[in-house]
Amino acid sequence: MDDFRIFTSIRYDPALLKVPELGYANTGWNQNYSPFYMLDLHRDRMLRAAVYWQWSAAVAAISGEEGLGNLERFLQSIVSEVGSGPHRIMLSLAQDGTLDYQTSPLPETHLNNLYPEYLPSLDREDSAQGGGDKVPIKDPIYDIFLDSQKTSKSEFTHYKTTFRDMYNDARRRAQINLGDRKEVLLVNDDGHIMEGSISTPYFWRDGKWVTPPIPTQYRASEGSGGNDGTTRRWALERNLVVEQVVPAESLVDGEECWISNGLRGFIFGRIKLH
């Protein structure tokens, strides 16, 4: 399979320029004035993939501070054509180091859902009503389904590429259409939750939010097999969640679940098994 590209989907949102002055602390990249959500983490993920496949030209194109600056300038050259509202920029990287993109509009998202101080749970319902906490809003609510078939983990589930048949098939089985407030959880051959088709999932277990384990670089013998996502890394580095194996059989119909991705931040959902 030689014709795939590495890609990542980045949120462009002028509202992110307000982050430094609105009291959102420890946000990482967006502690600077930037309309690109977690751009450095997107770059890091693409770079890890390029290193894995030994794409030397692609590695050179996005490595170091120079590579990150080049990426930011490339994105800035795009946004003049998309208007003032939030947009998805699907940024792809070819083996020869060339960049390409596609854009599409995105809905407004509250900054609390992009940069939560913590993920509220039933055990923390009282604290979620408190003063100045940056608590994500539980609206909209997504229905989270469990895939009816298992998916084998591979470098194409660990790294985000244009080869996405396994995700498209899972969404088709769950009868999810574009724009639906629904997600489907993939299950690996061990019967453990791997990831969502377009998101990282988080489950409340033993008094904490947990997410399936994933090594930084792909190794077939380690982890759940899921994607090394940007918002996932952000949440782990800030101790909002911890890694833990989540057996599919442990899911309970109606239980609360959070999901996240680099376009819409952290989204509330409920498990639907029936």
Neighbour count for residue 218 (Cβ, 10 Å) = 20
Q: What pLDDT is recorded for position 81?
A: 83
Residue 149 CA to its chain's centroid (Å): 22
pLDDT at 132 over 60: no
pLDDT of residue 127: 46
State the amino acid at position 205 in one-letter form. Answer: R
Banded pLDDT at 126 (limits 50, 70, 90)? very low
At residue 10, the pLDDT reads 98
Digit-coded pLDDT (tens) for 28-67? 999 999 999 999 999 999 999 999 999 999 999 999 999 9
| pLDDT beyond 80 at 95 | yes
Query: Does the domain made of 113-272 have the CATH classification 3.40.50.300?
Result: no
CA distance 85 to 73: 19
As a whole number, mean pLDDT of residues 231-247 equals 98
CATH architecture of the domain with range 6-108: 2-Layer Sandwich (3.30)
Contact 114/260 with Cβ under 8 angstroms?
A: no
Q: Is pTM, for the whole model, over 0.75?
A: yes
Q: How far is CA 124 from the centre of its chain?
A: 24
Tell me, what DSSP letter sits at residue 231? H
Give the angle 193-268-85 at the CA atoms, nearest 5°.
115
Q: Between 39-52 and 64-79, two packed helices, what is the crossing angle to 10 degrees?
A: 120
Q: What is the mean pLDDT of the segment spanning 203-207?
A: 96
CB atoms within 10 A of CB 14: 13
Residue boundaries of the structural domains of the chain: 6-108, 113-272
Is the pLDDT assigned to residue 129 strictly greater than 50?
A: no
- Asked if residues 101 and 89 have their Cβ atoms less than 8 Å apart, the reply is yes
Per residue in 2-22, pLDDT tens? 689 999 999 999 999 999 999
